[in-house]
Amino acid sequence: MRATTRVLLRGTAGLLAVALLVQFFIAGMAALTSPEWWGYHLTWVAFFQWLVVPLPVLAWVAGPPLAARVTLACVAFAQMGLQYVLAHRALDGRLPIGLGLHAVNAALMLVIVVALAVDWPNGRVPSADPA
C-alpha cells in the first residue's frame, strides 16, 4: 500500500508542477501581451488548486521518511492558501507588494512540489550517474 500511495503522491505532485508551469505561462501572457489572459489565470487555478488537498494525506500514508515528506506536503497546502491572501490583499490596496510575493510564492511552491514528485525526502533524486 505504501508503494501505491507513494506513486499517487508523486503523480499528484507532478500534475501540480505541470499545472503551475501552465499558470506561470498564463500569468506571463497576461502581464506582457494582453490583460485578457487574467481571466484564464483565474479559471485555471480553479481547476488545479485542489491538487494540494490530498498531498498531506498521501505523504502521511506513504511512510518513512515521514517528517520531511509530510512537512513539504503541508507547506504546499499552506502556500496555496497564501496565494489567495497575497493576491487579494494586493488588489484591495492593503499590501502593495502582494502580487510580487504572489509570484515568488508560486515559484517556491513549484520547487516544493517538484521535490515531492521526485521523492526527494526519500533520497531517490534521478541522476545522470550510471553507478
Q: Please give the distance of CA 80 from its chain centroid, rounded to a whole number.
A: 7
CA distances from 102 to 8, 22, 96 (A): 28, 16, 11
Between CA 40 and CA 62 the distance in angstroms is 34
What pLDDT score was predicted for residue 7? 95
Query: pLDDT (tens digit, 9 = 90+) per residue, 10-39?
Result: 999 999 999 999 999 999 999 999 999 999
- Classified as helix, coil or strand, 129 is coil
Query: pLDDT (tens digit, 9 = 90+) per residue, 79-105?
Result: 999 999 999 999 999 999 999 999 999
Contacts 24+ apart (CB under 8 A), 111-116: 112/72, 112/75, 112/76, 112/79, 113/13, 113/14, 113/16, 113/17, 113/20, 113/76, 114/13, 114/17, 115/72, 116/9, 116/10, 116/13, 116/55, 116/59, 116/69, 116/72, 116/73, 116/76
Mean pLDDT of the chain: 93
* Mean of pLDDT values over 65-71: 91
Given a cut of 90, whether residue 4 has pLDDT beyond it is yes
Between CA 108 and CA 85 the distance in angstroms is 16
This prediction has a pTM of 0.90
* Mean of pLDDT values over 64-77: 93
